[in-house]
């Protein structure tokens, strides 16, 4: 069998993710479960608002994606500038990336990791989980500054990155 055709059991990784969520006392539900993938929904209230988040287990690829969706969509006339901002933010991140669907303006953060049939170290799950939320909380104010404050991508990025521009004072 080739690399992408290895048949695996999804129960171990799914159990590990559920165990992690129960350990940190986060409510969750399984919203999809089939041969191809399993989706675990986690709803979280962050300082920026309520965010839907999902663990998506891609069984055939042995890949887990963790996605955090922001609570607001970007209006069509602001998507180009927000895309520039997301590029600037992604350049400075280590785990995960920010993405915008240009069709509907939804923004999310996505992290991912691969797994095998062995037990996964809980730090891998924890790192990806919290990185997704931290990135959304850190960069969402920049998205809002562009959308509603008429900022450009560079000034919004500098603001969320605490880079002070003396001309703004």
- Please give the domain boundaries of the chain with CATH numbers for all domains: 3-168 (3.30.1460.70)
Cβ-based neighbour number of residue 95 at 10 Å:
15
Q: If pLDDT is split at 50, 70 and 90, which confidence band does 16 have?
A: very high
Average pLDDT, stretch 6-22? Answer: 76
Q: If pLDDT is split at 50, 70 and 90, which confidence band does 51 have?
A: confident
Q: Cβ(6)–Cβ(23) under 8 Å?
A: no
**Residue 53: both structure tokens together:** 């988040």
pTM over 0.85: no
Q: Where are the beta strands (DSSP E) in 47-169?
A: 49-58, 63-69, 97-100, 107-114
DSSP run (H or E) holding 129: helix 122-149
pLDDT tens string 99-138: 999 999 999 999 999 998 778 888 999 999 999 999 999 9
pLDDT tens string 59-91: 999 999 999 999 889 999 999 999 999 999 999
**What's the confidence (pLDDT) of residue 6?**
40
5: pLDDT strictly greater than 50: no
Nearest to 59 by CA among 10, 115, 17: 10
């Amino acid at each position: 069998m080739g690399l992408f055709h290895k048949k695996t059991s999804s129960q171990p990784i799914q159990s590990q993710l559920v165990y992690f969520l129960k350990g940190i006392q986060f409510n969750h539900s399984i919203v999809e479960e089939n041969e191809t993938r399993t989706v675990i929904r986690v709803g979280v209230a962050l300082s920026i608002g309520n965010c839907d988040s999902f663990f998506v287990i891609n069984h055939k690829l042995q890949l887990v994606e963790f996605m955090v969706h922001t609570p607001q969509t970007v209006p069509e006339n602001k998507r180009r500038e927000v895309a520039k901002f997301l590029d600037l933010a992604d350049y400075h991140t280590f785990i995960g990336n920010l993405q915008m669907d240009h069709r509907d303006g939804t923004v999310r953060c996505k992290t991912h990791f691969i797994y095998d049939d062995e037990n996964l170290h809980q730090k891998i799950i924890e790192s990806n989980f919290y990185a997704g939320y931290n990135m959304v909380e850190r960069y969402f104010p920049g998205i809002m500054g562009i959308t509603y404050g008429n900022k450009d991508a560079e000034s919004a990025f500098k603001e969320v990155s605490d880079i002070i521009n003396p001309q703004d004072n």
